[in-house]
Every structure is written in structure tokens, then in C-alpha cells.
Amino acid sequence: MLRRIAAVLAAATLSATALAVTVPAQAASAQVADRAYTETRIAGFHAAPNPARRHQHISLQGQLQVGEDCNPHERGSGLATRHNPCGDSRTQWTGSAGWQKIVVLFRAGGRSKWEFVDTIETGRDGRFFTKVPVYTSGTWRVVFEGARGLSPSEDSDWVKVFR
């Protein structure tokens, strides 16, 4: 009797294990297809000063922002006033993308290759800042490569360098 119970339990465990192995794999592939990423943008990216002297340090700053769906009909604080925080778009941008990695790249004028310069981290409000030396005119580019649930974004700025 005990052997029969043990055999039934072993068979039940084996079939449950096989079921547990196949079902999560199918569920994971379905989740990947349905995954929605929150839109991001780099706002206010600026390289200053522009133009700059050769060997001078310039500052690169901006803010990584996250898009949120917006209700254009929500009411403001006054009874008769109606504010539209979104303007004409359906997205309201906030600076809540804190502690994310931003890659800094440079491409000299007339060249096609981007060169890696630095990786910086945003502050808690999504703002980032760094100083870099300049040697030649070119385009400075900052890239957010994306993170769990956040889509990638980038922006660039041209800096003229004189002797």
C-alpha cells in the first residue's frame, strides 16, 4: 500500500514538474511580446560655452525625463479655471528618471565615428552634468540606452572650437 502511494506521488510530482517547466517558458515569451516601455526624452541638453577655446572645459547638462499619460480635461485649482498641463500632446513630461546611466559620445567635424567619452549618472530628479575638455569642433551626444520599462533616448549639440 505504501509503495503504491509513493509511486502515485512520484508520478504526480514528475508531471507537475514537467508542467511547471513548460508553462513559465510559454508565459515568459508572451510577456516579452506584450511588454510596454515608458517613453523617455532628454530635455534641455546643452554644451556650454559655445564657441569654446581649444583645451577649455565645457559643461554638458540636461535632464532625462519620463513621459506620463495625461488627461487634458483635469481641472486646475480654481473653480472657473481649467488648465491643460499637456498642451496639444497626450504626454506630460516629468523629471522622475533618477539614478540612470547616460553615455557621453563625441564625433569630430567631418568624421563618421563616434568616440566614447564618459558614462555619467542622473541625479534623483533626472538631471545630469559633467565637464569635458575640448580639442576640436564637433558634435557632443548623450545617450540613454534604456532600462527596465524605459525606452532609450538621445540628444546632441554641436560645439565650435577655435584656437
Give CB contacts under 8 A, 24+ apart, made by 70-77. none
Whether residue 65 sits in one domain with residue 17 = no
Largest Cα span, the chain: 94
Give per-residue pLDDT as tens, 58-108: 999 999 999 887 665 554 454 444 555 566 666 788 867 899 999 999 999
Rounded-to-integer distance, Cα 34 and Cα 27, Å: 11
Whether residue 98 sits in one domain with residue 50 = yes
Whether residue 44 sits in one domain with residue 109 = yes
Q: What is the pTM of this model?
A: 0.70
Give CB contacts under 8 A, 24+ apart, made by 85-89. none
Query: Mean pLDDT, to the nearest integer, of 43-67?
Result: 96
**49, 58 Cβ separation under 8 angstroms:** yes
Whether residue 62 sits in one domain with residue 24 = no
Q: What residues contact 101, with CB distance under 8 A and at least 6 apart?
A: 119, 120, 121, 144, 145, 147
Q: Where are the beta strands (DSSP E) in 70-126?
A: 91-94, 101-108, 115-121
Whether residue 12 sits in one domain with residue 77 = no
The enclosing domain of 64 has a CATH number of 2.60.40.730
Whether residue 85 sits in one domain with residue 31 = no
Whether residue 76 sits in one domain with residue 28 = no
Domain ranges, residue 95: 40-162
- The band of 116, judged by pLDDT with boundaries at 50, 70 and 90, is very high
